[in-house]
Amino acid sequence: MEQFGVITETRGESASVNLQRHLICGECGKCGILSGADKRNITIEALNPIHAEKGQRVVIESDDRQVIFIAFMLYIVPLIGLVAGILVWPQVAANFGFEGGQELQAVGIGLALMVMIYVQIRKWDQRVKNDMRYKPVITGLLLDKQDCEDGQTKE
């Protein structure tokens, strides 16, 4: 995935980049931006192998496979946990002889399983947040503001 932004700060081999979110991001709120055209910019940490300087407009690329993997981990895996808890609990309760309120218990177990999965994802995130595989990379400089729309870069 390719995005465009402006470097706001450099630190060694990385840089903070203020970039405009893709339309594909929508307004899910995951990044802390809830709505409004004036709230479309976010700041990310990116690797800076080309040593771009503060104030320069840059092209940032992320590995599409990693983006899809992270989206799968954040959305699909917890959903699977929720559904599994709801579907499996009645059989488990029947095997152990628990009686009454199975549907409500199943929903509670499904929600608890989903929360546990989110906690594990958060722990995983803390372990891999400095892993270079998951960081976007600055791959080029934009020639001027118009080039952001045209996609022309200076390598």
Please state, in angstroms and as integers, the Cα–Cα distance from residue 31 to each residue in 2, 27, 87, following that order: 18, 9, 32
For 1-155, where are the alpha helices, taking DSSP H only? 64-71, 77-96, 102-128, 145-150
Q: Which two tokens stand for residue 88?
A: 């499996």
Residue range(s) occupied by CATH 2.30.30.140 in the chain: 2-62+136-154
Number of Cβ within 10 Å of residue 114's Cβ equals: 20
- The per-residue pLDDT for 40 is 60
- The per-residue pLDDT for 33 is 46
The 10s digit of each residue's pLDDT in 29-70 is 554 444 454 456 788 888 899 989 999 999 988 888 888 988
Please state, in angstroms and as integers, the Cα–Cα distance from residue 150 to each residue in 35, 52, 153, following that order: 26, 20, 9
Q: Which residues of the chain have pLDDT under 70?
A: 20-40, 144-155
Q: Is the pTM of this model over 0.85?
A: no
CATH code that applies to domain 2-62+136-154: 2.30.30.140
- The per-residue pLDDT for 84 is 93
